[in-house]
Structures are given as C-alpha cells and as structure tokens.
Amino acid sequence: MKKIILLGIILQALCFIACSGADNSKSASDVEENQVVEEAADDTPVEEEPEEDPAEEELKGDPSVDIDLTVLSATFVYSEVYNMVMEPEVYIGEKVKMEGTCSIYTDEKTGKVYYACIIKDATQCCAQGLEFTLDEEKYTQEDYPKEGDFITISGTFDTYSEGANKYLTVRDSELIL
C-alpha cells in the first residue's frame, strides 16, 4: 500500500516534469515591460485612470478561505497543488477550497477507504490531487461523493502519519454544491 502511494507520488512528479516543457511565449510581465518601455519612449504624458481590473476582482475568490483554487487557471491550480505536495509545512492549517474529480482508493489490507479531489493541468495530460475527509459532524459515510463525480470541497490543509509515512489531507471538508 505504502509503495503504491509512493509510486503514485513519483509518477505525479514525473508527469509534472514532462508537462513543464519549454515555453517560448511571452509572459504577462514581459508584455507589460514592453508596453512601459514603448510608453516611456513616446514622451507624451499619459493619464492613468485608477480602474479595478475585472480579472483581479475575479481572482479574489471566496473570502472565507485562505487559498481558493477554484478561481485560478488550470495551470496555476496544478502548480499550487504541486507546491502543497512538495512543501506541505507551509500550508498546514490553511483553509483550502478546490474543485476536481473525486477519486476513491480502498486499501485491500485494512479496508480503509481514501477519497481525493483530483485536478488536471491545462493540457489535461497531468493530474495532482489531495486526499480529503468530510466533516464528521455534518456528514455521514453515505454523503461522500462517488468515483468520477465533479466536486468542490473546502477544508483545512493538514498532514498525518500512518506507520513511517506522512500523508496530506484536507480535513473536515465541506461539499459545496
């Protein structure tokens, strides 16, 4: 069981590396720098109106959580979940909201059932996920989603140990309809 999970993590890391090929396109900051240089060369004063960017408003997301992955692009979500996997201590205790596909794994030795919210990157070639448990005070076992269901969860990021292994989870999650 532990070897399977470790193998899964290694495969996810390999997928991440494979999907992060060279990208020769310009980033938003490159475009902004070019625009600033062009404007400076113009020598005509430009009045800027303080406008609120609709994209920034959209990225604010749910104020009840610390990290709202539901408002980010697929690439940013994938990257942020990768960061959570690689440096979990930075995220412990943070309230996380995410959406993805429900995946279910049953440990054949113990019979314990594990649920995860899986997200894919923009090209749909790579996947990352976080295990989650529903808030036991609000939900019963029958309330858990089925394999393949599209879900949105919100809960507290945490780690736990089973044997010698450390795992990540989103504890006390709520299913958001």
Domain of residue 60 covers 53-177
* Res. 14: pLDDT tops 60: no
* Per-residue model confidence (pLDDT) at position 61: 82
- Specify if 3 maps to a domain: no
Which one has a higher pLDDT value, 60 or 115?
Answer: 115
* Per-residue model confidence (pLDDT) at position 124: 86
Find tokens 């690439």 and name the residue: 75
Which one has a higher pLDDT value, 60 or 1?
Answer: 60
- Specify if 121 maps to a domain: yes
Which CATH number goes with the domain that contains 69?
2.40.50
Please, which pLDDT band fits residue 177 given cuts at 50, 70 and 90?
Answer: confident
pLDDT (average), residues 33-37: 49
- Domain count along the chain: 1
Distance of CA 177 to the CA centre of its chain: 18
Distance (Å, whole) CA 22 – CA 2: 33
28-37, 64-73, 119-128, 156-165, range with the lowest pLDDT: 28-37
- Specify if 155 maps to a domain: yes
Distance (Å, whole) CA 97 – CA 55: 19
Residues of 93-131 as b/e, b for ≥16 C-beta within 10 angstroms? Answer: eebbbbebbbbebeeeeeeeebbbbbbbbeeeebbbbbb
* Res. 110: pLDDT tops 90: yes
* Res. 109: pLDDT tops 80: yes
Phi/psi at 62 (5° precision):
-80, 115
* Res. 81: pLDDT tops 50: yes
- Specify if 18 maps to a domain: no
- Specify if 173 maps to a domain: yes
Distance (Å, whole) CA 129 – CA 84: 10
- Decide if 125 contacts 15 (C-beta within 8 A): yes
